[in-house]
Amino acid sequence: MVTEMITENIGFFIYTFISIFVVVNPISGVVTFISLTSKMTHDEKNEIAKKSVALACLIALFFALTGNMILKLFSISVDSLRVAGGLLLFSIAFDMMHAKVSRESITDEEISQSQERTDVWVFPIGLPLLTGPGTISTVIVLMGSTEAIGQRILILVSIILTFVLCLFGLFFSRRIHKFIGYNGMLVFTRLMGLLLAALAVNLTSKGLINIFNLT
């Protein structure tokens, strides 16, 4: 019994971590981060990285903890959000599989306009590049999928772990870019897009099955 519970929780943690990591996709944000901080010193870049990741993590945690209340306030079911979130994630995945920065995260025009901003850690890096609608809908759906306190804690841990990895990714953004190379990052982005598409289909189909009682 205990072994089965541990195995179930390990599987749940792996699923939630991969889901959040794929949606946030820290590697794809490396190029944008390098572009937006190209004129900054090393210390300034690290400060931007810390602030933006902290903000993004806090936003994700906030919606994870309050998401169910927000859904109830607007009389929206978790399954409805599963369908809507799944469709949104599929559109993001489509862009990623074509090696594009998702339009849900940030547009080329926004990147250009942000070059001279002093608060790029807020917009566009923290929000919406690291934590956009896709991330927010994913954490709400994950929290709404379980009533177990232990599993909800695992979701919060998954969020924090994802953004810790984001922080290291931004700290070593230039080294990562140099090591992987531009083509390598395109391949990684396409791979993440494929995984995200699978997650999107899973969310949408599960939501539709529950809404129409197809089980």
Q: How many CB atoms lie within 10 A of CB 73?
A: 9
Report pLDDT for 181: 84
- Mean pLDDT, consecutive 10-residue stretches, the chain (215 aa), reads 87 96 88 86 93 97 96 94 94 85 58 67 88 94 94 98 96 89 85 93 94 80
Q: How many CB atoms lie within 10 A of CB 127?
A: 19
DSSP states along 26-90: TTHHHHHHHHHTTTS-HHHHHHHHHHHHHHHHHHHHHHHHHHHHHHHHTT--HHHHHHHHHHHHH
> In the chain, where are the structural domains located?
2-21+31-211
Cα–Cα distance for residue pair 12/16, rounded to 1 Å = 6
Query: Which value, in Å, is the radius of gyration of the alpha carbons in the chain?
Result: 18
User: What is the reported pTM?
Assistant: 0.91
Pick the closest to residue 129 from 77, 166, 161 (CA basis): 166
Tokens 């210390």 belong to residue = 43
Report pLDDT for 35: 84
Report pLDDT for 135: 95
Do 63 and 170 meet the contact criterion of CB atoms below 8 Å apart?
Answer: no
Could you give the C-alpha distances from 2 to 47, 83, 114, in angstroms and in order?
Answer: 44, 34, 52
Angle at 56 between CA 55 and CA 59, to 5 degrees: 85
Do 127 and 55 meet the contact criterion of CB atoms below 8 Å apart?
Answer: yes
Report pLDDT for 205: 94
